[in-house]
Amino acid sequence: MKPLHRTPSAIAALTIATALAALAQAPCAMAEDKKAATAKPSLTVSTIRPEKTSLPIRLTANGNVAAWQEAVISSESNGLRLSDVKVNVGDVVSKGEVLAVFAPETPQADVAQAKAALMEAEAAAAEAKANADRARSIENTGALSAQQISQYTTAEATARARAASAKAMLAAAELRLRYTRVVAPDAGVISARSATVGAVAGPGTELFRMIRQGRLEWRAEVTAADLRNIKIGTSAVVKAANGSELTGKVRMVAPTIDPQTRSALVYVDLPPNNGKQAPFKAGMFATGQFELGASDALTVPQQAITVRDGFSYVFRLNQDQRVSQVKVQVGRRIGERIEVLQGLAPDALIVAAGAGFLNDGDLVRNTGAPAQASNPIKPAR
């Protein structure tokens, strides 16, 4: 095969074509360089780094508010008319306070009759004793037979027994008279009233219900897996449906677990709040949080988190002043800070505010760290 020889004219034409191609590409490269040089940031942002802080460990639960103990106050009188009711639902009463009064005429008459019977029995007993004493004094003289002396001593014992029986009847009559006054067995708050003036109540008829000592408790439903974290004395902040809050302590953990719900009741004592205007009422639904201590956590400001499509993201600032959208997993929240569980390095530089206006790859202008909040969370040591 013969070697290819190019003529001078062909070489010149090739050189001109190469030069023209280079001239054609030069404006494109210059345009790209000019565009890069004139690119403007889409947003001015401040940046921060995540902080390691100490956050409280809390367990949230739901449950009902109930009375610590509810006393049922019933009638102990038989067939008496209720003449006066002195308290109503919501009243705060003290131990021994009179709640209702039955008509006392019949018991008073029984007491008077029992007193008279006792006086008669005591007089008979005194006479029998005197006769027995005289019989015993002449026992050795032979004036009376042994049978007669035995009759006198037996009569003395019988009269003494009748006097004791009359005394017991008087005590029973006086007790029935005391039963005409229904008193509170303990201090507390009246929670229900069925007593009505003029009604004739039989023995055992319920007249009132009372929350003993005004004490309420929160019966929280806690799953079996979380029970091991709760101890007697653990603090709990309970919030009622009306927004009221109280701090109580765990009094007892139920010894059994409901086989249907797989949860157990945790009994939390609440501070007494007697009165009609008490913020917590028995029967209320309430939610609460058990205070289980604290642990270190990596946190960022709430403004640094943006939620898109149901996921949480932060924007990390790269060295080229562009941001990268990073998916993170969030945990506990306290104040204006949120715990980041996964997805973020402790030394990452992230956008502190305005993340909701950014997209992945945006060019930004960084102004540094924002001003500190007035009440920052104390960093963990």
For residue 262, the domain's CATH number is 2.40.30.170
How far is it, in rounded angstroms, from Cα 308 to Cα 327? 10
Q: What is the pLDDT of the chain when averaged over all its residues?
A: 83
181 sits in which H/E element: strand 181-183
pLDDT at 21: 55
Same domain, 168 and 194: no
To which H or E segment does residue 15 belong? helix 8-37
- What is the tens place of the pLDDT at every residue in 197-248? 988 888 888 999 999 988 999 999 999 888 888 999 999 999 988 788 889 9
Nearest Cα to Cα of residue 258 among 227, 288, 297? 227
Domain membership of residue 377 (yes or no) is no
Rounded to two decimals, what is the model's pTM? Answer: 0.63
pLDDT at 8: 54
207 and 223: one domain?
Answer: no
Do 302 and 355 belong together in one domain?
yes
| pLDDT top residue among 11 and 106 | 106
Based on the fold, state whether residues 197 and 219 are members of the same structural domain. Answer: no
Same domain, 336 and 273: no
- Give me the half-sphere count of Cα atoms (radius 13 Å) on the Cβ side of residue 252: 5
Q: Is the pLDDT of residue 63 over 90?
A: yes
Q: What CATH number should be reported for the domain holding residue 184?
A: 2.40.50.100
Q: Dump pLDDT digits (tens) for 3-23.
A: 444 555 555 555 565 555 554
Q: What is the CATH number of the domain that holds 47?
A: 2.40.420.20
Q: Which of 17-31, 125-139, 165-179, 291-305 is the most confident on average?
A: 165-179
In 3D, which of 274, 290, 294 has the Cα closest to residue 238? 290
262/254 Cα distance (integer angstroms):
12
User: In the chain, pLDDT over 90 holds for what percent of residues?
Assistant: 36
Which pLDDT does position 24 carry in this prediction? Answer: 52
Q: At what angle do helices 146-178 and 105-137 cross, to 10 degrees?
A: 160
Verify that 308 and 282 share a domain, yes or no: no
Domain's final residue, options 192, 213, 234: 213
Q: Of 247-256, 300-309, 319-328, which one has max mean pLDDT?
A: 247-256
Give the containing element (helix H, strand E) for 128. helix 105-137
Domain's final residue, options 213, 235, 257: 213
pLDDT band of residue 162 (cuts 50, 70, 90) is very high
Give the count of alpha carbons within 13 A of 43, CB side only: 19
Task: For residue 188, give the nearest of 268, 272, 267 by alpha carbon.
Answer: 272
Q: Please tell me whether residues 203 and 95 are part of one structural domain.
A: yes
Largest Cα–Cα distance in the chain? 187
Q: Does the pLDDT value for residue 169 go beyond 90?
A: yes
Contact 353, 366 (CB under 8 A): no
In a domain, 88, yes or no: yes
Give residue 220's pLDDT: 94
Residue 280 has pLDDT above 70, yes or no: yes
pLDDT of 24-40, one tens digit each?
A: 554 544 444 444 445 67
Q: Do 273 and 222 sit in the same domain of this protein?
A: yes
- C-alpha to C-alpha distance for 352 and 337, rounded to whole angstroms: 11
Q: What are phi and psi of 199, to 5 degrees?
A: -75, 145
Quick one: 253 and 155 in the same domain?
Answer: no
* Mean pLDDT value of segment 65-79: 89
The pLDDT assigned to 322 comes to: 87
Please state the domain count of the chain: 4
CA angle 136, 142, 145 (to 5 degrees): 75
Domain endpoint, select from 236, 259, 294: 294
Answer whether residue 12 is part of any domain: no
Residue 225 within any structural domain of the chain: yes
User: Are 241 and 283 contained in the same domain?
Assistant: yes
Domain of residue 148, CATH code: 1.10.287
Percent of the chain exceeding pLDDT 70 equals: 85
The answer to the question of residue 171 being in a domain is: yes
In a domain, 99, yes or no: yes
Residue 76 included in any domain: no
In this structure, what token pair is assigned to residue 6? 């190019």
**CA–CA gap between residue 125 and residue 158 (Å, rounded):** 8
Nearest CA to 233 out of 294, 295, 291 is that of 291
d(CA 215, CA 67): 6
> Do 262 and 328 fall within a single domain?
no
**Looking at the structure, do residues 193 and 237 belong to the same domain, yes or no?**
no
- Please check whether residue 258 lies inside any domain of the structure: yes
Segments forming the whole domain that contains residue 90 = 82-103+180-213
